[in-house]
Amino acid sequence: MPFLGQDWRSPGWRWVKTEDGWKRCEPFSPALEDGKNQLNDISHTVIITGDDEAEEAYSTEDCEFAAKKRKKDHFGTNTDSQCFYREKWIYVHKESTRERHGYCTLGEAFNRLDFSSAIQDIRRFNYVVKLLQLIAKSQLTSLSGAAQKNYFNVLDKIVRKVMEDQYNPRLIKDLLQDLSSTLCILIRGVGKSVLVGNINIWICRLETILLWQQQLKNLQMNTQVNNGLTLSDLPLHMLNNILYRFSDGWDIITLGQVTPTLYMLSEDRQLWKKLCQYHFAEKQFCRHLILSEKGHIDWKLMYFALQKYYPIKEQYGDTLHFCRHCSILFWKDTGHPCTASDPDTCLMPVSPQHFIDLFRF
């Protein structure tokens, strides 16, 4: 059936033919299955008002507004869930057009993209944590109230996952440290900066963060029971290949603390030289040369010294993607309604910093 949507590029509404005529179908969460019929039938409801119970029929625009308002009120009562959106992609527009008014904000993008599910995927976990860390450092006040609530809901799920799975607690500790420092500055300077929400809410959030930090500090790693082949049983060349796959120097040091053999392999000069060459350029080496007592270049100290001055390359199993043809930001496995003849040539991976830069005007 033909339709006219608010945006001619949007998929529009889905209509179902019934005995009473065509009705608009708006599928959403299964938890709202009981209330779906009430929402869909609201355009056919007659409202009784006044003392004489005179019937007053709403116009189509009023019915649509009432339906949206009722759905908004329903989702607003669930404070623990993320704001509901059917699509898991967002159109990034920086100016008003005939089809779209206003512009896309960082808070809107954070609401629309499914970060709660992304942290359950080990390929995306580090990506989301890094993105939250960048927002905590400089963009926290640019989030709307709903986006801030989603931000801390996602952060709560991350902390719970780390406490249960004990996965990469060092990364979360760095995130909480940056976030607590930012909140302390914002709370002390209240009135000087734009802080969305009541000051008491932010104080409660800071107390929660301090509690999370204490819990992570007291986190005890579970002892694994050896029921078969272990990492120490692997040949030396395989252990060496594993170390050469790491892109973070702290991961190499941590693995080197497991056994004396791994410690010996983690101190290899060639390993740290390859790591420095991967992250930094030769011009950067010349500015910060560090020599050992024997006169050789200490590549391990060089790596940590260069890390203080220059950013290192970031590696993620999966990232958000941006379609240059459609100007849509999305997770690659969820896809988006692309109109390009060859969509793969239009895709561009988006780093966490690039994600922040997309919404700076």
Domain ranges, ordered by start, for the chain: 91-220+316-358, 248-309
Higher-pLDDT residue of 127 and 187 is: 127
Mean pLDDT of the 324-332 span:
87
Instruction: Report the share of the chain in percent with pLDDT over 90.
Output: 19
Q: b vs e for 203-242, b when ≥16 Cβ sit within 10 Å of the residue's Cβ? A: eebbeebeebbeebeeeeeeeeeeeeeeeeeeeeeebbee
Cα atoms in the Cβ-side hemisphere of radius 13 Å centred on 76: 7
Q: How confident is the model at residue 98 (pLDDT cuts 50, 70, 90)?
A: low
Reply yes or no on whether the pLDDT at 222 is more than 80: no
Span 167-179, pLDDT tens digits: 888 889 999 999 9
Reply yes or no on whether the pLDDT at 80 is more than 50: no
Reply yes or no on whether the pLDDT at 233 is more than 60: yes
HEC secondary structure over 101-164: CCCCCHHHHHHHCCHHHHCCCHHHHHHHHHHHHHHHHHHHHHCCHHHHHHHHHHHHHHHHHHHH
Q: What is the rounded distance in angstroms from the CA atom of residue 136 to the CA atom of residue 181?
A: 9
Q: Which long-range contacts (C-beta less than 8 Å, at least 24 apart) are formed by 230-235?
A: 231/258, 231/259, 231/262, 232/258, 232/259, 232/261, 232/262
Reply yes or no on whether the pLDDT at 45 is more than 70: no
Number of C-beta neighbours around residue 154 at 10 A: 20
Q: What is the rounded distance in angstroms from the CA atom of residue 92 to the CA atom of residue 84?
A: 19
114 contact partners, CB below 8 Å, separation of at least 6: 82, 88, 331, 334
What local confidence, expressed as pLDDT, does residue 292 receive? 77
Q: What is the rounded distance in angstroms from the CA atom of residue 112 to the CA atom of residue 329?
A: 10
Q: How confident is the model at residue 219 (pLDDT cuts 50, 70, 90)?
A: confident
Span 285-302, pLDDT tens digits: 888 778 777 778 888 888
- Token reading at 99: 């089809």
Q: Give the pTM.
A: 0.66
Higher-pLDDT residue of 347 and 94 is: 347
Mean pLDDT of the 302-326 span:
86
- Nearest C-alpha neighbor of 151 from the set 111, 183, 203: 111
Q: What is the rounded distance in angstroms from the CA atom of residue 77 to the CA atom of residue 55?
A: 31
C-beta of residue 91 within 8 angstroms of C-beta of residue 1 = no
Q: What is the rounded distance in angstroms from the CA atom of residue 356 to the CA atom of residue 130?
A: 11
